[in-house]
Structure 1
Amino acid sequence: MTQVTVWNEFRHERHNDTVAEVYPEGIHTVIADALSEAGFETQTATLDEPDHGLTEAVLDDTDVLTWWGHAAHDEVQDEIVDRVCERVREGMGLLVLHSGHYSKPFTQLMGTSCSLKWREAAETERLWVVEPGHPIADGLDEYIELDNAEMYGERFDIPAPDTLVFTSWFEGGEVFRSGCCYQRGNGRIFYFRPGHETYPIYHDESIQQVLANSVAWAAPGDGPTPKFGNSEPIEVIDESDDRTVH
């Protein structure tokens, strides 16, 4: 069974009454419960735990890591960031949520600023499915409508996605690439825009469906493990040539 680790700063929920009303036990708990109901094994990790809850043992046991961060990106230790990125390149899936676009793991893996326009005005968002044949869009309607959302607008300073699954329109007129798929090494990455902490977005059934679909998509498969370095020939060849500097 796919093992998912749901990571969250868990700061807003403890210090802001509005957020605590929406997510009294933390955003990570709502996401973990939804993914558990979808059939995944889940565990949670938060910023203020030792190693931010992301020890080598935890990451070694993680097939897909989901990441929600907002106010404390700079507090994430570089050693842990490198650990996460190494695991992604080895094959662990990474689901980056909402303001996690500025997280250290995502910016390192993208190699860009990941900057964007934003506005908090509780406006309507429509996420249009622009790649309906993609597994992440399974079971969805043509669009997901959210009554209250924080606006993110283009230009979104990211590399062109390998596949774009969702494009958002906002009541104020902006558009945004809201569902972006990438491959880094052996690992799959999905950036999913919705999820501002003051709105009950992760309680929405369609959003939970996207989370479950994206975890299933990002989970590592059973392909062969490539071997690198000096290699013995498969066929019989003449190996007497000694012109080498190695």
Structure 2
Amino acid sequence: MTSTQPIRVVVWGENRHEQVNPVVRGIYPTGMHNAIGDAISALLGDDVTVSTRVLDEPEHGMTEDTLAATDVLLWWGHTAHEEVADEVVDRIHRHVLEGMGIIVLHSGHHSKIFRRLMGTTCSLRWRNDGDSELVWTVAPRHQITEGVSQPIVIPGQEMYGEFFDIPEPEELIFISSFSGGEVFRSGVTYRRGYGRVFYFSPGDEVYPVYHHPDVQRVIANGVQWARPEHPRESYTETPMYQTGDYDHPVLTSPDGLIDYYTREPVAPRER
């Protein structure tokens, strides 16, 4: 995938708190998903196309056509994780394995898709009493940290604390600290199949966290980092190599051998 193509971004939001909680509706009158999407558009401009989907759409907005046309999916959920249909989770999981990037935000740590990708409970300690959060960069040369303050100071936020039941991160990007002495691995990355995964914890719905310029910058940087490096391809197809030609992967098809990348016919190598 060339860098000249806009990154196709979909922001998925549960969109339930905004409907029933006047505090949340006052902070995010058009929904958290739109606030996040608008910030990505403002920061990345013509480098992205951004759309949004919500839980109550048919198939939760996560149709096969939508996912096939998505380079990076952002996921925010909290109160209705179990309402997400298992077949939709299966579909999203397959697309991540095939190369779609995914950014899971805040309470999305308990979403079905994040738990599926991690293979653990993804449980953590928490309290919500308006604490301040300091988000410390521990990977200062990483693309996701470019242009953000050290530390990011979030005046009001829900505390997330260790132990966070996730696999050992492939990259630890941020660690957060709170006034009670708690610490938390608040920014971690993984690779699953051909897809990139970024979890970023700041973002409780009753605080204006997604209006914070540094939080917006982290998310925009995460979109650029998570974009696919190659065209989408099936993760279940294992390439083989013609004898003596280890730079030319091929697949079998009903019509004979085909090139693994182009899907064009390939003549068998003469022995």
TM-score (norm 1): 0.93
Deviations for 1:191-231, whole angstroms, at most 9, x for unmatched residues?
Answer: 00000000000001100000000000000013796962554
Matched, 1:149 2:157: yes
Q: Secondary structure at the match of 1:30?
A: helix
DSSP-derived class of the 1:120 partner:
strand
Taking the aligned partners of 1:14 and 1:223, their CA distance within structure 2 comes to 38
Q: Which residue is 1:12 aligned to?
A: 17
Match of residue 220, structure 1, among 220, 228, 242: 228
Cα deviation for residue 36 of structure 1 reads 1.0
Q: Distance in 1 between matches of 2:244 and 2:36?
A: 48
What CA distance in whole angstroms lies between the structure 1 residues aligned with 2:241 and 2:167?
34
- Specify the alignment match of 2:251 in structure 1: none
Distance 1:224 1:214 in 2: 19
Q: Distance in 1 between matches of 2:126 and 2:238?
A: 44
Write the mapping of 1:1-246 to structure 2, written as runs, cut at 5 A: 1-37=6-42, 38-39=44-45, 40-222=48-230, 228-235=238-245
Once the two structures are superposed, what CA deviation does each residue of 1:132-173 show, in whole Å capped at 9, x if it has no partner?
010000011221000000000000000010000000001121
TM-score, scaled to structure 2: 0.85
Distance in 2 between residues matched to 1:172 and 1:148, nearest whole Å: 14
Moved segments of 4+, more than 4 Å = 223-227, 235-239
Question: Paired residue for 2:249?
Answer: none
In 2, the alpha carbon distance for the partners of 1:211 and 1:237 equals 48
Q: Which residue of 2 aligns with 1:243?
A: none
* 2:261 counterpart residue number: none
Question: 1 CA distance for matches of 2:128 and 2:41?
Answer: 31
C-alpha separation in 1, matches of 2:95 and 2:130: 36
User: What amino acid maps onto 1:119 in structure 2?
Assistant: R
Superposed CA offset, 1:100-153 (max 9, x none): 000000000100000000000101100000000100000112210000000000
Structure 1 residues 112 and 14: alpha-carbon distance in aligned structure 2, compared to 1, 3 A threshold: same
- Which 10-residue stretch deviates more, 30-39 or 155-164? 30-39
Aligned residues: 239
Whether the aligned pair in 1 keeps the contact of 2:145 and 2:218 (CA below 8 Å) is yes
Counterparts of 2:145 and 2:223 in 1: how far apart (Å)? 12
Distance in 2 between residues matched to 1:91 and 1:163, nearest whole Å: 18
| Structure 1 equivalent of residue 250 of structure 2 | none
- Cα distance in 1 for residues equivalent to 2:270 and 2:101: 43
Measured at CA, do residues 73 and 224 of structure 1 come closer, stay the same or move farther in structure 2, by a change above 3 Å? closer
3-state secondary structure, aligned to 2:107: helix
Q: Aligned-pair RMSD on alpha carbons?
A: 1.8
